[in-house]
A and B are shown apart, each in its own frame.
Chain A
């Protein structure tokens, strides 16, 4: 009795921190999303007008769609690149495994801005790639579209978040028992069939985890599109930023933020259902039973 009460009081700071740092700001945002702005004052009368405005605005709908589209695309590209890389590190590298993983993570130590400016030097009109291509005579004029374009944004987003995808998949491959692959071959499965029936289903959790991480980080990335996207650099995140800053429309900004959150939550729930319905999810559930 006394002990459990002590436990309760000891855990209070933890709960307090979670509420203060995570829940409270979101709730404040939620409250604001139902308010309205009149000149420079916030009218604290509940209304759905902000949400109606978002749904009615082609610009906002387009920006939200574009942001999620970027997230999906980068998640897909990193998955395609990361899958063989993770397989290689987990199953083919023996001695230098930690070296490979460190190498993979090195870019993350340098910070966003440094990485972005490094890419500017690579992609710019007088950058490494254009200079090289002109030197060997492939092109006469520098390719302008390399920098300050949607292409540049997505190249760098892919580069930035690839390590997270690889890490998620690497863990899944480490957990994959090679003997299962041998068992599949023993039973007559060729390479493709083994991949489809054994390797892919058993690494699916890593693929889903990696994709979710990459997706969320791409959706929330503000700097990369801003500094590399040029005219295409406007995103829903930068729009929210403008609303909170120069436009001083906190309620609308809050409403957009919550719309994004709601869509994300739905996507997560959908993914969770897909996984739990898959044969793998059932296997996991059976293991816990």
Chain B
């Protein structure tokens, strides 16, 4: 049916994007849910929209789906403005947060619902429904009603009901959140696999960064109605654009400070932990307030001189290693990974060091 291994282009920059948002703004009578965001979503990519609850993810998705009008800005699909195009005419399908299966229809009737609006023969319709159900391994349940299915099964039906229409863009809103951990992991792998096989573009909303990492070609990090960064998972993890992203993704250690000098792609920052020369975001200038980000796994317990001192406050066994929390004299809480049989004692003083070439400097967040 729709299975086709299409060549993949995830750059989103060179080629014209499938979907483009320009200054997209949503104001619910005073509540500014989305504050003028720009983004591009490439053909055949798996993009996740990641952010804390209430940051405007659903609002953005609903505008793309056509369920909510933009307060201002433009959405373009294949270069055509979506302004005034009703949801029913958009080549976009949604897997809703609560699945929204029709309770009065059987599984196969649910899946076939959208096919009625295409010029297909009865036989073609039936075979499309059948292969969509097979794709999500729900063929044996075709005659059941949604209420007779488990959450995970309803999920699969909702997915089949959307992809059977071969949308240009598939929207998924916190689709996996309601599933238990084990099933969520399985579904993540299946979703990713499905997207690759179908060569469809998926835009998936989630508040779970692990999920975003597992699925995405690109992640759009949202906070408070704004897009903080859009990049590949590795880029987001290694070179977060803002202190917020550094903290939200993987919980980096953050040390506020001031820029002493800038040289090309690196800068020297003065922090309570000491002075470090590290790679930095573009646009920093001498004297700027900035934040040094150090990932937990980069920090090492250090014998002898160098590094900075901290007092161990907490140790947590994580199976493969220890997660150690320590506090510096300046009151900065530091977490690090210790890969040894025994962790340092709580209350003991330790010296910590890291390779400055793997640190990262971002601008200080503007208050507000």
Please determine whether chains A and B interact with each other in the same assembly: yes
Which residues of A line the B interface, CB within 8 A?
177, 179-180, 182-190, 193, 197-198, 201-202, 279-280, 282-283, 286-287, 289
Interface residues of B in 79-116 (CB under 8 A from A): 86-89, 92-94, 96, 98, 100-105, 109, 113-114, 116
Q: What are the residues of chain B within 8 A of A184 when measuring CB–CB?
A: 102, 113
B88, A190: Cβ atoms closer than 8 Å: yes
- Which chain B residue has the least Cβ–Cβ distance from A197? B113
CB distance from B57 to the nearest CB of A (A): 16
B148, A186: Cβ atoms closer than 8 Å: no
A189, B103: Cβ atoms closer than 8 Å: no
Interface SS majority for chain A: helix
Among A180, A183, A184, A188, chain B packs the most CB atoms within 10 A around the CB of A183
B67, A182: Cβ atoms closer than 8 Å: yes
List 10 tightest A-B contacts by C-beta distance, closest first: A187-B114, A188-B117, A286-B145, A183-B100, A185-B87, A179-B100, A283-B104, A287-B147, A280-B104, A279-B104
- Assembly CA distance A203 to B65 (angstroms): 26
Interface residues of B in 204-262 (CB under 8 A from A): none
- Which chain A residue has the least Cβ–Cβ distance from B144? A286
Q: What are the residues of chain A within 8 A of B144 when measuring CB–CB?
A: 286
CB distance from B143 to the nearest CB of A (A): 10
Q: What are the residues of chain A within 8 A of B94 when measuring CB–CB?
A: 183, 186
Q: What are the residues of chain B within 8 A of A179 when measuring CB–CB?
A: 96, 98, 100
B161 interface residue (CB < 8 Å to A): yes
B114, A188: Cβ atoms closer than 8 Å: yes
Given A286-B145, A286-B148, A287-B145, A186 and B104 contact (CB-CB distance below 8 Å): no
Selected from A185, A283, A289, the residue in CB contact (under 8 A) with B103 is A283
CB distance from A177 to the nearest CB of B (A): 7
A186, B65: Cβ atoms closer than 8 Å: yes
Further pairs besides A179-B96, A186-B65, A279-B104: 14, Cβ < 8 Å: A179-B100, A180-B103, A186-B66, A186-B94, A187-B113, A187-B114, A187-B162, A188-B89, A189-B113, A189-B117, A201-B104, A283-B105, A283-B147, A286-B147
A188, B88: Cβ atoms closer than 8 Å: yes
B335 interface residue (CB < 8 Å to A): no
- Assembly CA distance A199 to B31 (angstroms): 30
Selected from B66, B101, B147, B148, the residue in CB contact (under 8 A) with A185 is B66
Given A179-B96, A180-B102, A185 and B114 contact (CB-CB distance below 8 Å): no
Q: What are the residues of chain A within 8 A of B101 when measuring CB–CB?
A: 183
- Provide 14 A-B residue pairs closer than 8 Å at the C-beta atoms, listed in order of the A residue: A180-B100, A182-B87, A183-B101, A185-B88, A186-B92, A186-B93, A187-B113, A187-B114, A187-B117, A187-B162, A188-B117, A188-B118, A283-B105, A286-B145
- Which chain A residue has the least Cβ–Cβ distance from B86? A185
CB distance from B284 to the nearest CB of A (A): 45
Interface residues on chain B, size class? 20 to 34
Interface residues of B in 136-168 (CB under 8 A from A): 144-145, 147-148, 161-162, 165
- Assembly CA distance A283 to B65 (angstroms): 28
Q: What are the residues of chain B within 8 A of A201 when measuring CB–CB?
A: 104
- Assembly CA distance A109 to B341 (angstroms): 80
Q: What are the residues of chain B within 8 A of A189 when measuring CB–CB?
A: 88, 113-114, 116-117
CB distance from B198 to the nearest CB of A (A): 17
- Which chain B residue has the least Cβ–Cβ distance from A179? B100
- Which chain B residue has the least Cβ–Cβ distance from A281? B104
- Assembly CA distance A184 to B104 (angstroms): 13
- Assembly CA distance A179 to B105 (angstroms): 15
- Which chain B residue has the least Cβ–Cβ distance from A189? B88
Among A193, A282, A286, chain B packs the most CB atoms within 10 A around the CB of A286
Q: What are the residues of chain B within 8 A of A197 when measuring CB–CB?
A: 113
CB distance from B103 to the nearest CB of A (A): 5
CB distance from B258 to the nearest CB of A (A): 50
CB distance from A196 to the nearest CB of B (A): 11
Given A179-B98, A283-B147, A287-B147, A187 and B103 contact (CB-CB distance below 8 Å): no
B104, A185: Cβ atoms closer than 8 Å: no
- Which chain A residue has the least Cβ–Cβ distance from B103? A283
Given A179-B100, A182-B100, A187 and B161 contact (CB-CB distance below 8 Å): yes
Q: What are the residues of chain A within 8 A of B148 when measuring CB–CB?
A: 286, 289
- Assembly CA distance A202 to B103 (angstroms): 8
- Assembly CA distance A289 to B149 (angstroms): 12
Q: What are the residues of chain B within 8 A of A283 when measuring CB–CB?
A: 103-105, 145, 147
Q: What are the residues of chain B within 8 A of A180 when measuring CB–CB?
A: 100, 102-103
Given A186-B87, A187-B165, A198 and B100 contact (CB-CB distance below 8 Å): no
- Which chain B residue has the least Cβ–Cβ distance from A289? B148
- Assembly CA distance A279 to B143 (angstroms): 12
- Assembly CA distance A167 to B118 (angstroms): 38
CB distance from A213 to the nearest CB of B (A): 23
CB distance from B128 to the nearest CB of A (A): 13
